[in-house]
Amino acid sequence: MREFEYYKVKNLKEAINLSKKFGKNKRFLAGGTDLIVRLKDNLIKEENIIDIKNIEELKGIKEVEDEIHIGSLVTFSEIIESDILKKYSPLIVEASKKVGSPQIRNKGTIGGNICNASPAGDSIPPLFCEDAKFFLESTNGSRIVNIEDFFKGPGKTILKEDEILVKIILKKWKENEFGFFNKLGQRNALTIAIASSCIKIKKSDGKIEDIKISLGSVSPTVIRAKKVENILRGLKEYKKDEIIKICDEVKEEIDPITDVRGSREYRIEVSKYLVFEALNNLLNIRG
């Protein structure tokens, strides 16, 4: 492990001022479950580590009218335990349960998961289905960006040099909304997704009024499968053959890689069935 300077900051202002000073040559440290591993493997070139764990402004889950605000330092364990989220945004709860192990869920934060920008980040597909917004702050002030504009590639985001993710903003679920998250791994716990899919559906009068589908680990970033969404929107009857055919379209929307977890071919083929499996859990699909 290479040597680095360590700074522990007390508030947001201090954090962004310090990060302005170091520019590119710095990293924020939240739970450290990504960063420390990479530091040990000598994959981090930055020489200054700014520990943000003590910043109060980044903590807590709050209800704000019809929104929920999740601080970037909120851990997966806190998400799983949160009554607010269980009630108003259960998909992120389900996805958080699938992250790593109890130890990782106790330390790892949602902000770290987002800013690490891995296509396999488990909290990200549900956030796509929720049309989440990210509240960012820098020395130039704050801004809110849509999740769809945030990710640029594996490990790449639009975050500016001195910018920090403060909180994640979600809309509360309404009636008739249902969701399902499924993660395919090589084993049942402590595993990075081979592929994952997440679906949120709004039903009315037995038809799909709205649907959002996102997929993880099958493209450089988590993606939305909008083509498939468009075909499914408005659908009333759920015939197995037809639905499978529709799910097949997802192949056009993804661009996976081959790695030790699975081949590109497998990821392409299995994505369709992951989406189908999720739909099967939400709709009454018949033979």
Partner 1 sequence: MIKKIDISKALKLNGVVAVLTYNDIPGLNGFGIAIQDQPVLCYDKVRYIGDAVALVACETKELLDKAIDLIEVEYEPLPVVEDPLKALEKDSPKVHENGNIHLHTKIDKGDIEKGFKEADLIIENEYRTGRQEHAYLETESGFAFYDEDEDLLTIFCGGQYPFRDQIQIARVLAIDPRKIRIIDEPMGGGFGGKDEITTQIHLALLAYHTKRLVKMEIERDESIVFSWKKHPMILRYKTGVKKDGTLTSNEIYIYADTGAYASLGGPIVNLAVEHSCGPYRVPNTHIEGFCIYTNNGVSGAFRGFGVNQVTFAMESQMDEIAEKLNMDPVLLRRKNILKKGDETGIGSKIETSIGLKKILDEIEKHPLYKDREKNKIDSSEYKKYGVGIAISYQGTGLGVGLPDYGACWIEMRRDGGFNVYSGSVEIGQQMKTTLKLIALEALKISDEDKVFIITGDTSITPDCGTTTASGATYRSRRAIEIASKKMIDILKKEVNEIFNIPTDEIKIEDGIFKNLNDEKITTYEDLAEILYDKRRLPKTEGHFNFPTSKTKIPGAFGLPHYIFSFSGAIALVEVNILTGKTNLIKAVNLIDGGRVINKIGFEGQSEGGIVMGMGYALMEDVIIKNGEFLVKNFSTYLIPTSMDSPYQIETIPIESFEELGPYGSKGIGETTMVPIAPAITNAIFNATGKRIKQTPATPERVFFALHKLPEK
Ligand X SMILES: Cc1cc2nc3c(=O)[nH]c(=O)nc-3n(C[C@H](O)[C@H](O)[C@H](O)COP(=O)(O)OP(=O)(O)OC[C@H]3O[C@@H](n4cnc5c(N)ncnc54)[C@H](O)[C@@H]3O)c2cc1C
State how beta strands 207-216 and 195-204 pair.
Answer: antiparallel
Query: Quick one: which of 139, 166, 110, 141 has its CA closest to 19?
Result: 139
Q: Does 33 bind ligand X (CB under 6 A)?
A: yes
Q: Does 121 bind ligand X (CB under 6 A)?
A: yes
State which amino acid sits at residue 124.
I
Strand blocks (E) in 101-206? 133-138, 141-146, 151-153, 156-157, 164-171, 177-184, 195-204
CA–CA distance, 123 with 125 (Å, rounded to integer): 6
Q: Which residues are at the interface with partner 1 (CB under 8 A)?
A: 37, 101, 184, 186-192, 194, 240-241, 244, 260-263, 266, 269-270, 273-274, 276-277, 280, 287
Q: Does 29 bind ligand X (CB under 6 A)?
A: yes
Q: Does 31 bind ligand X (CB under 6 A)?
A: yes
**Mask 9-28, x = binds ligand X (CB under 6 A)?**
------------------xx
Interacting stretch for ligand X, rule CB under 6 A, among 116-124, 221-229, 257-265, 268-276? Answer: 116-124
CA–CA distance, 174 with 179 (Å, rounded to integer): 12
Residue nearest to ligand X (CB): 112
Q: Which of 68, 70, 78, 100 binds ligand X (CB under 6 A)?
A: 100
Q: Where are the alpha helices (DSSP H) in 153-285?
A: 226-232, 240-248, 264-282
State how beta strands 5-8 and 48-51 pair.
Answer: parallel
Interacting stretch for ligand X, rule CB under 6 A, among 107-115, 174-182, 253-261, 269-277? Answer: 107-115
Q: Which of 74, 91, 165, 218 binds ligand X (CB under 6 A)?
A: 165
Q: Does 32 bind ligand X (CB under 6 A)?
A: yes
State how beta strands 5-8 and 26-29 pair.
Answer: unpaired
CB 200 within 8 A of CB 183: no
Q: Does 30 bind ligand X (CB under 6 A)?
A: yes
Touching ligand X, residues 133-162 (CB under 6 A): 159
CB of 190 to partner 1, least distance (A): 6
Q: Which of 37, 43, 64, 144 binds ligand X (CB under 6 A)?
A: 37
